[in-house]
Structures are given as C-alpha cells and as structure tokens.
Structure 1
C-alpha cells in the first residue's frame, strides 16, 4: 500500500537532486551517442538529398522535353 505520510523537505530535495542527476546522465549519454553517429547521419542525409535532386532533375528534364 502507498505510504500516506508527508515527505520532509530534505527527502523532497534529495529526490529532486536524484532526478536532476538522472536527467544530466541521460543527456550526456545522448550527446556521446550523437557524437559517434554524427558523421554517418550527415553522410546519409547528403546521399538522400543527392538522390532526391537527381530524381527531381530527371523528372524536370522529362517533363520539359514533351
């Protein structure tokens, strides 16, 4: 069952500090993973943009000729 006793100010402060620490650790981990994958993400976006541009150019040329 849930404990209905009110928490003291020190308990709430400690719990808040733990939540902030957990958030900082999660952000740090996300930034570390992003730093490792950043180059691959840019390469993938560049290849996708190039393919889109080629398809757009081919369709534009085909529509222009007829």
Structure 2
C-alpha cells in the first residue's frame, strides 16, 4: 500500500514539474504562436472570400 501511495505522489510531482516547464515554454513562444494563428486565419478568410465572390457569378 505504501508503494502505491509513494508512486502516486511521485507521479503528481513529475506532472507538476512538466506542466510548469510547458507553461514556461509557452510563455516564451506565445507571440510567435499568435502571429502564426493570425496568418493562418487571414489565409483561410482570403480563400473563403475568394470562393464566395467567384461562386456568385
């Protein structure tokens, strides 16, 4: 029983460490991710508008 509790506590500790590292990495690249998302959104909107305008005729 003690081994299961110790294993669970170790798993929680590793999970907390990995989540904190992931958040630090995300904080460093947040601006780039937002820029890429905006570029993709602009391309998708441009294609949608082009298809909408060309299908009217």
TM range (shorter): 0.7 to 0.9
The TM-score with structure 1 as length reference comes to 0.70
Equivalences for residues 43-62 of structure 1 within 5 A: 43-62=35-54
Matched, 1:40 2:32: yes
Could you tell me which runs of 5 or more consecutive residues in structure 1 were left unpaired when the two chains were aligned: 1-7
Q: Distance in 2 between matches of 1:12 and 1:42?
A: 42
Could you tell me which runs of 5 or more consecutive residues in structure 2 were left unpaired when the two chains were aligned: none
Deviation of residue 24 (structure 1)?
0.8
- Which has the higher Rg, Structure 1 or Structure 2? 1
When you count helix as a share of all residues, which structure comes out higher?
Answer: 2
Q: How many correspondences in the alignment? A: 57
Per-residue CA distance 1:25-59 (angstroms, 9 max, x = gap) = 11111111111111111111111010111111111
Question: Which residue pairs with 2:14 in the alignment?
Answer: 22
